[in-house]
Amino acid sequence: MSLFRTLLFALVALLFTSGPLSAQTLRIYHIDVEQADAALVVMPNGKTLLIDSGKNNHGSRIRAAMQQAGVTQIDVFVVSHYHEDHFGGIDDLVDAGVPVLESFDRGDKECCLTPAKKAEPAFKGYMRTVGEDARRLAHGDAITLDPLVTIAAISSGGVVVGETNPVTGHDENDMSVSLLITFAGFKAFFGGDVEAPTEAKIAALDAVTNVDLYKANHHGSHSSSSQAFMGDLRPSVVVISNGSHGGHKHPRQVTLNTYAALATPPVVFQTNRCNEVAPCANVANAFIADPESTDQDGTILVTVDATTSNYTVRYGTNTVRTFVIKAPSAPVVSTTAGIVIESVLPNPVGDDEELEEVTLRNKGAAVISLVGWTLQDRSGATWNLTGALAPGEARTSRRSGQAMSLNNAGDEVVLVDAEDVERDRFEYSATGEGTIIKTLH
């Protein structure tokens, strides 16, 4: 790293860390790794999620972001897919002594990786440090790091949550793990290099809608951010992780045009200005973290404050722009057939905090994704739901330490979907130990 860049990292660290943050703050560092991807997410409780790790030798940039954030370990690392610009920096990080406690990838390392790819030093470094022990993150799976934050896998291996006849893909980009992160009404989507085929399935299933932040799929390429997909996402902010050089020519003008054509166009930010010739395109310099490609750190920090319902985007030497978390839909009860509360177990035999249960059933005719849905008690405490229910399917959800408590003396259970629409409600009275209460809904 050049001395100039080192000094700039130190300056940005001072600007980006302005004293202790409350337990009501979520921070997302879109790390400047040039034509690659890496995002550090710091939970309100201080735990960390690293999504991708840039290219080989990018570990130092991730460590700089960790220093800015005041964290010393990665609690969970998720690599979206097996391209070097998404996993290449993790061995640098681990070899530098940074603890990485748990790792996830899309699994199936035999698919789509040639022997030559597997023999490359970067992939060997990934496997040596975290890949051998990485767990498969499938569509519908969830990662729990903080009770206030939901992290749900929307797609993995080309399969999208809610598919009834899933067909895996064969394009490495399109098989990326995609994540939806929610906190205090704020929603952020990270899709790795997901492209139009998987985007089309996400849109057709309405698996992700009306987000605040969209980390542009595939660096803003022409083969991603398709119209139907963007029409569902409707983001307020788009962040593009791109390089100033490298031949990929990202972002593309056609993609910027798609953003601009939305009913409410998002504000689009880039980590770097692309200095390649057409078809490479750029937003205005005022929205590029490193507009002159002068080796300035192009990291973009998004900070979500639950106490104000605002979030800020900070970049450059100290440019800060403030946005309002999108208001949820009006909380009305759905009159259409769909997911209902079938039964509750408020007083299990054993530990209430772990073993309380609510059973849901899909009485509709279509698969319904539960990503972003919650169960709420009378106090407003929640259980987070994930996965999907096929027509006629029932599923029992256990409390497993989540905040919502089913009061043994009587309580109310409310089912709320991802758009904050109330789908069902059930009130019950005191009950004996081990009694399952049927709702007859």
Question: Mean pLDDT lowest for which of 4-8, 131-135, 272-276?
Answer: 4-8
Write out the two tokens for 135.
């767990």
Residues 79, 227, 390, 370, CA torsion sign: positive
d(CA 276, CA 284): 16
Instruction: Report the pLDDT value the prediction gives residue 112, as an integer from 0 to 100.
Output: 78
DSSP string, 398-410: E-TT-S----TTE
pLDDT band at 399 (very low <50, low <70, confident <90, very high): confident
Nearest C-alpha neighbor of 264 from the set 215, 310, 303, 211: 211
Instruction: Report the pLDDT value the prediction gives residue 418, as an integer from 0 to 100.
Output: 87
Which H/E stretch holds residue 301? strand 300-305
Nearest C-alpha neighbor of 362 from the set 341, 397, 393: 393
Please tell me whether the peptide bond between 20 and the residue prior to it is cis, using omega within 30 degrees of 0.
Answer: no
| Burial call 326-348: b when 16+ CB within 10 Å, e when fewer | beeeeeeeeeeebbbbbbbbbbb
Q: Assign 3-state DSSP to the chain and report helix, strand, coil percentages, each to 5.
A: 20, 30, 50
Q: What is the mean pLDDT of the chain?
A: 88
d(CA 280, CA 157): 29
d(CA 55, CA 63): 14
* Superfamily of 339-438 according to CATH: Lamin Tail domain (2.60.40.1260)
Nearest C-alpha neighbor of 89 from the set 44, 167, 37, 141: 37
- Residue found under tokens 């601009």: 260
The Cα-based distances of 192 to 161, 307, 331, 368 in angstroms read 16, 30, 32, 24
DSSP type of residue 152: E
Which H/E stretch holds residue 104? strand 103-105
Most confident of 22-26, 292-296, 320-324: 320-324
pLDDT band at 15 (very low <50, low <70, confident <90, very high): very low
Please give the CATH architecture assigned to the domain spanning 3-324. 4-Layer Sandwich (3.60)
Range(s) of the chain covered by CATH 2.60.40.1260 = 339-438
Instruction: Report the pLDDT value the prediction gives residue 337, as an integer from 0 to 100.
Output: 58
Range(s) of the chain covered by CATH 3.60.15.10 = 3-324
Q: What crossing angle do the helices spanning 3-16 and 59-69 adopt, rounded to 10°?
A: 30
Per-residue pLDDT at 262 exceeds 50: yes
Per-residue pLDDT at 174 exceeds 70: yes
How confident is the model over 242-255, as a mean pLDDT? 84
User: Torsions phi, psi of 89, nearest 5?
Assistant: -90, -5
- 3-class DSSP assignment, residue 40: strand
How confident is the model over 169-192, as a mean pLDDT? 93
Q: Reading across the β-sheet that carries 357-362, which strands appear in turn?
A: 394-398, 357-362, 339-345, 437-438
Instruction: Report the pLDDT value the prediction gives residue 19, as an integer from 0 to 100.
Output: 40
Write out the two tokens for 170.
């064969």
How confident is the model over 362-383, as a mean pLDDT? 86
Number of residues that make up the chain: 441
pLDDT band at 305 (very low <50, low <70, confident <90, very high): very high
pLDDT of 67-112, one tens digit each? 999 999 999 999 999 999 999 999 999 999 999 999 999 998 887 7
